[in-house]
Structure 1
Amino acid sequence: MLPGEETKSGTSSADRLVGRTLASDVLHRLRTDLLNSLFLPGDRLRFEPLRERYQVSFSTLREALASLVQEGLVVAEGQRGFRVAPVSRADLIDLLETRIIVEREALRLALQRGTPASRARVTEDFLRMNEAREQAEASGRWTSPEWCRLHWAFHDSLVADCGSATLLDIRARLWKRSERYRSLARRLRPVQRGPVSDHRDIYESAMAGDAVRTHSLLEGQFRRGAEHVLRHAAAMLAAE
């Protein structure tokens, strides 16, 4: 079917493409707002305010919210609508321990399968992340949206060659859920990044093909991040 050609239902392929693009856009924006704690745990996600904020139809909103339920960021309440997923100490610890297991396997496979091209990509992402850090610090900030994006890209490139799309999907979902906890902690007290050597050590051990040491360094980062959340967002975390 050519772009603009109508289907039997009278909807053109171009219209359907626009609809899919709009749905993807609102899903991305909603997810970003949730991860940045614009909506807090337990908040009811009312359709009318959301429709006005994102300028989309109710059906597009419902589709996006249903996707976020699958990601564990939103909870469906039957006929009552949707709420932001709750947070708890137990969930945070479960996320932490699961991330450590998943990261270990993804990293092991990626370093086994690594190629000169994949190592060059890791190097490029590492250098870009450091450059963004320097730019943020030069402007008097400890972080920036660009640094956050490149930080994810660096960690992502470390495991990109693991060869398992399923493993990478699980890892990405765990990362997003963990990011919401970090965002909650930052609302109460901004976290100071570790020294530059933290990421440099991770980078150098990965380049040397040392999966055991690289994972040990990553695990240390994960645990320090969880400790920061437990220390500064304890009041927001349910006991169970």
Structure 2
Amino acid sequence: MIEPLLTIPAQSELPDSEPKTLVEGAYRQLRRDIIEGRLAPGSRLRVEHLKDFYNVGAGTLREALALLVSDALVVSQEQRGFRVTPISLADFEDVTHTRVLLETEALRQSIAHGDEAWEAELVGSFHRLTRAEEKLAADTPSSANEWEQRNRAFHEVLISACPSAWIRYFVGIMNQQSERYRRLTLLNPVLPRDVHAEHTAIFDAALARDAGRAAQLLAEHIVLTLTTMRQLPQEIFRNAGN
């Protein structure tokens, strides 16, 4: 079987491994700053300014930006350079529905093919996520970033036994997009929500090999973020690139 040429490493691996090239290092830094909102949605990315900030050459930075275009985190504007991809409620609705389609199918396949090693990894990732959620509830420093990393890792492990590399790849793209929006809900909580209970229910169903229930719970979990997003003031989206 020929594996697809996927150039982007698994997201959960990014914080723990050293970049192999200058391009990869610049890509990681830019990606992090876009997802965490330091580079605002819709803002122009001027190579002549950013190359000094990230301490890389113009060519290296352009290559990193090209990778981010393939992630749909950056938009190339022909002769006008690059911009951070804008955000909107309509876009997040599209991202959410696409993510539900892909990730629930990936979870079904992962449960069908997962072995004892997958189960052990799932238990470990859930334990680490639980600790991060405890810190988030206590509002400890850097808790949001740690929670995002552990949440991402948990969702990746859930589908890691899915045999389709393409499904896993596109789920990763959708999760990157979701993370940009999810951070807005963390900063602007509007609906009471027990995310830990949601994760626990998904974990229990997956470990019990109940693919139907696990997929249903995962879909509800993903859609609830969209429900929360719809409650946010619309000026959040209008002002995101200012």
Check whether the contact 1:184–1:233 (CA below 8 A) recurs between aligned residues: no
User: How far does residue 146 in structure 1 lie from its aligned partner after superposition?
Assistant: 1.9
Distance 1:20 1:125, change over 3 A: closer
Mean Cα displacement is larger for which, 194-203 or 122-131? 194-203
What's the secondary structure of 2:75's corresponding residue?
A: strand
User: How far does residue 121 in structure 1 lie from its aligned partner after superposition?
Assistant: 0.6
What's the secondary structure of 1:162's corresponding residue?
A: coil
Q: Which residue of the partner structure matches residue 74 of structure 1?
A: 74
Distance 2:207 2:142 in 1: 27
Q: Which residue of the partner structure matches residue 7 of structure 1?
A: none
Distance 2:155 2:43 in 1: 31
After superposition, residues 1-240 of structure 1 pair within 5 angstroms as 21-138=21-138, 140=140, 143-187=143-187, 189-190=188-189, 194-232=194-232, 234-237=234-237
Check whether the contact 2:108–2:211 (CA below 8 A) recurs between aligned residues: yes
Higher relative contact order (CA closer than 8 Å, sequence separation 6+) = 2
What's the secondary structure of 2:83's corresponding residue?
A: strand
Distance 1:157 1:58 in 2: 36
What is the one-letter code of the residue matched to 1:25? G
Q: TM-score, normalised by structure 2?
A: 0.83
Q: TM-score, normalised by structure 1?
A: 0.84
Please list every run of 5 or more consecutive structure 1 residues that lacks an aligned counterpart in the other structure. Answer: 1-17
Please list every run of 5 or more consecutive structure 2 residues that lacks an aligned counterpart in the other structure. Answer: 1-17
Taking every aligned residue pair, what percent have the same amino acid on both sides? 36
Check whether the contact 2:34–2:41 (CA below 8 A) recurs between aligned residues: no
What is the one-letter code of the residue matched to 1:133? E
Count of residue correspondences: 220
RMSD of equivalent CA atoms: 2.2
Task: Write out the 4+ residue segments of structure 1 that deviate beyond 4 Å after TM superposition.
Answer: 138-142, 190-193
Check whether the contact 2:103–2:171 (CA below 8 A) recurs between aligned residues: yes
For the pair shown, which has the larger CA radius of gyration, 1 or 2?
1
Mean Cα displacement is larger for which, 63-72 or 19-28? 19-28
